[in-house]
């Protein structure tokens, strides 16, 4: 995969396909000329099929489609056989007769369009439609007969569920929107479609609930999607980079989820979902800091248990970010804050280590992150084994060789394991990244450096307002009703809000 070679350009026009203008040409009455134009457009495209038929020796038709993207059985049984054996109705033009026959008799359940521009016809063919051209006619009939292989609905791989729905989005956009429609059964659920990508022509769907959604957020999303000008959109992450407000912030500004129940719950809260054809990951805007620390199961379990787990989650999140830097600050700058017996044991174990504490922790952090990344990239059968065994072997060998002291291995391992409790994988990245600058600050300034780092992070979070929504809401700006849900998951009878969260 290469890097993007073209940056997006601000453009308020709805058209994101300049290539269409290059082949914009009206259909000619001569079917042979039309066939040659299409063959020139689809030059060296071996999967483009051309099927010529003559009806009762009079009417000549040309069928064009992409092999593997259409339902051949429908074409044969509903189009070819009726036309070749029954012929066209008498007294009408060719295409009008074909359209009338298909609409009223054979393909009444499918979508049919009449087009006269080669640019539009080409786009529809490449999207899996069948184009029918008739001799002496300047209009083409486009029939929706799409059929291609898609992945079945499985359990979400990145969002395991203890209780609740086990369904996951697929790579088919229409399947995903159908799953949302099945959960939210109301005409207020609006799904707006657009196409982005000059070459990929990726279909995007923006879903929201009318009357519940924040129009400020919705309008900003529409505006930023309209400004995207690029050749390719291969995954929802490409769209996330284009529409996020602060590119250099380590914190994600859009939530992503593969679970229909999570997306539906977010829509009921007034958020906006962006679904991408070809990607099972759906973007949800706006995102808040606290949403990154809430698990989908929080609203499917009993409130007492969830409240306790939520507190544990907050504590472990703080441990994952601050524990290594606190260890460096206390052992190097403030040993009087550690119990004497413990400090004595740490000093004895560190006596044989050749490197300063900062270098030790930094080395172990890099090794731990490398093992974690290796476990993700390796096949599922050996990935977890390599990461766990590698950590044990390397840690034990480093201690025995006197390169790393044992307390450092314990501290780094504890911080790494604590980061796994963060339910949103994408939200765990900034927590892992922030450990490194805090390590350097604590190694230079001690607790004062950690305080500086925390203040800078809080100031950044306060100023982060993706799509006009404060990132730390409801803490700042303070909202008493929503603030309760941050710390305690209240029983449903005591919740006066409309939608459930996830």
Measured from the Cβ of residue 429, the count of other Cβ atoms closer than 10 Å reads 15
The CA-based angle 146-13-193, given to 5 degrees, is 35
In this structure, are 280 and 319 located in the same domain?
A: no
Residue 200 belongs to some domain of the structure: yes
Q: Is residue 489 part of a domain?
A: no
The answer to whether the beta carbons of residues 310 and 489 sit under 8 Å apart is: yes
Residue 24, both tokens: 């914009």
For 316-334, give one letter per residue: b (16+ CB within 10 A) or e: bbebbbbbbbbbbbbbebe
User: Is the domain of 255 the same as that of 337?
Assistant: no
What confidence score (pLDDT) does residue 2 get?
45
My answer on whether 313 and 462 are in the same domain is yes
Report the distance separating Cα 145 and Cα 133, nearest Å.
Answer: 16
pLDDT given at position 148: 74
Signed CA dihedral, 464, 467, 472, 475: sign only: positive
Contact 157, 167 (CB under 8 A): no
Q: Are residues 187 and 240 in the same domain?
A: yes
In terms of domains, do 204 and 243 share one?
yes
* pLDDT at position 266: 92
| Percent of the chain that is helix, strand, coil (3-state, to 5) | 50, 15, 35
Residues 370 and 478 in one domain: yes
Q: What pLDDT is attached to residue 100? A: 58
Do residues 133 and 197 share a domain?
A: no
pLDDT of 423 reads 87
Query: How many domains does the structure of the chain reveal?
Result: 3
Q: Across-strand partners of 143?
A: 112, 130
pLDDT of residue 389: 65
Alpha helix segments (H runs only) across 135-287 = 173-183, 215-227, 236-243, 260-268
Residues 137 and 23 in one domain: yes
Residue 495, domain member (yes or no): no
**Residue 63 lies inside a defined structural domain of this protein:** yes
Instruction: List Cα–Cα distances, 10 to 27, 229, 393, in angstroms.
Output: 33, 7, 52
Determine, yes or no, domain membership for 149: no
Given a contact cutoff of 8 angstroms between Cβ atoms, the answer to whether 118 and 38 are in contact is yes
Residues 364 and 475 in one domain: yes
* Helix pair 303-332, 340-350: axis angle to 10 deg: 60
- The values of phi and psi at residue 376, to 5°, are -75, -40
Give residue 110's Cα distance to chain centre.
Answer: 30
- Are 313 and 283 within one domain? no
Q: Does residue 108 sit within a domain?
A: yes
pTM: 0.81
Decide if 8 is inside a domain: no
Residue 321 sits in the same domain as residue 470: yes
Residue 4 lies in a domain: no
Per-residue pLDDT of the chain (502 residues; tens, 9 = 90+): 443 333 333 333 344 444 444 466 888 888 889 999 999 999 988 889 998 888 766 678 889 999 888 888 887 777 777 766 666 555 445 555 565 555 555 555 467 788 888 988 998 899 888 898 888 888 888 888 888 777 778 878 778 777 778 888 998 898 999 999 999 999 999 999 999 988 888 999 999 999 999 999 999 999 999 999 998 898 898 999 999 988 889 999 999 999 999 999 999 999 999 999 989 999 999 999 998 898 888 888 888 888 898 899 999 999 999 999 999 999 999 999 999 999 998 888 888 788 889 999 998 898 888 888 877 777 766 666 666 666 667 777 777 777 888 889 889 989 988 988 888 888 988 988 999 999 999 999 999 999 999 999 999 999 999 998 899 998 888 888 788 788 887 777 776 554 444 4
3-state SS, residue 365 = helix
Q: Distance between terminal CA atoms of the chain?
A: 34
Structure tokens at 257: 């989820």
274, β-bridge pairs: 206, 283
**d(C-alpha 357, C-alpha 366), whole Å:** 14
**131 lies in the same domain as 229:** no
Domain boundary among 225, 253, 287: 287
Domain containing 445 equals 299-484
Backbone angles phi, psi at 191, to 5 degrees: -130, 105
Crossing angle of helices 447-463 and 425-445, rounded to 10°: 140
Out of 222, 253, 287, pick the residue that ends a domain.
Answer: 287
Q: How far apart are the C-alpha atoms of 86 and 56, rounded to whole Å?
A: 9
């Amino acid at each position: 995969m290469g890097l993007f070679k073209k940056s997006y350009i601000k453009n308020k026009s709805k058209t994101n396909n300049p290539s269409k203008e290059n082949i914009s040409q009206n259909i000619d009455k001569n079917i042979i000329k039309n066939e040659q134009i299409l063959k020139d457009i689809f030059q060296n495209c071996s999967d483009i099929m051309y099927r010529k038929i003559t009806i009762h020796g009079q009417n000549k038709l040309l069928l064009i489609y992409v092999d593997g993207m259409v339902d051949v059985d429908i074409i044969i049984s509903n189009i070819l056989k009726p036309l070749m054996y029954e012929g066209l109705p008498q007294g009408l033009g060719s295409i009008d007769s074909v359209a009338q026959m298909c609409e009223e008799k054979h393909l009444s359940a499918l979508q049919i369009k009449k087009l006269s521009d080669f640019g539009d016809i080409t786009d529809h063919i490449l999207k899996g439609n069948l184009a029918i051209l008739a001799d002496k006619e300047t209009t083409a009939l486009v029939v929706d007969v799409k059929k291609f292989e898609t992945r079945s609905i499985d359990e979400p791989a990145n969002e395991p569920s203890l209780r609740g729905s086990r369904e996951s989005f697929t790579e088919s956009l229409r399947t995903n929107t159908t799953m949302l429609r099945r959960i939210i059964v109301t005409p207020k659920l609006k799904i707006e479609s657009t196409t982005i990508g000059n070459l990929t022509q990726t279909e995007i769907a923006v879903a929201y609930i009318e009357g519940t959604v924040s129009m400020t957020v919705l309008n900003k999303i529409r505006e930023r999607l309209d400004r995207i000008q690029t050749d390719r959109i291969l995954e929802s992450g490409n769209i996330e980079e284009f529409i996020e407000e602060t590119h250099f912030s380590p914190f994600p500004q859009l939530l992503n989820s593969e679970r229909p129940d999570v997306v539906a719950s977010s829509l009921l809260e007034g958020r906006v979902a962006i679904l991408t054809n070809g990607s099972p990951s759906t973007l949800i805007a706006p995102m808040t800091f606290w949403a990154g620390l809430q698990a989908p199961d929080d609203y499917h379990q009993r409130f007492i248990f969830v409240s306790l787990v939520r507190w544990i989650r907050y504590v472990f999140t703080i441990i994952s970010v601050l524990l290594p830097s606190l260890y460096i600050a206390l052992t190097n700058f403030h040993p009087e804050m550690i119990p004497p017996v413990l400090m004595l044991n740490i000093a004895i174990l560190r006596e044989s280590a050749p490197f300063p504490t900062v270098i030790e922790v930094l080395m172990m952090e890099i090794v731990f992150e490398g093992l974690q990344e290796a476990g993700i990239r390796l096949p599922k059968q050996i990935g977890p084994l390599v990461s766990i065994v590698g950590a044990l072997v390397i840690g034990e060998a480093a201690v025995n060789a006197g390169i790393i002291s044992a307390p450092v291995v314990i501290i780094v391992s504890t911080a790494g394991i604590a980061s796994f409790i963060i339910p949103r994988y994408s939200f765990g990245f900034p927590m892992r990244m922030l450990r490194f600058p805090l390590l350097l600050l604590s190694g230079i300034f001690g607790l004062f450096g950690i305080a500086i780092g925390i203040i800078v992070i809080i100031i950044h979070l306060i100023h982060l307002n993706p799509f006009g929504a404060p990132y730390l809401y409801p803490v700042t700006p303070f909202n008493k009703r929503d603030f309760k849900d941050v710390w305690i998951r209240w029983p449903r009878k005591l919740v006066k809000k409309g939608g459930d969260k996830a």
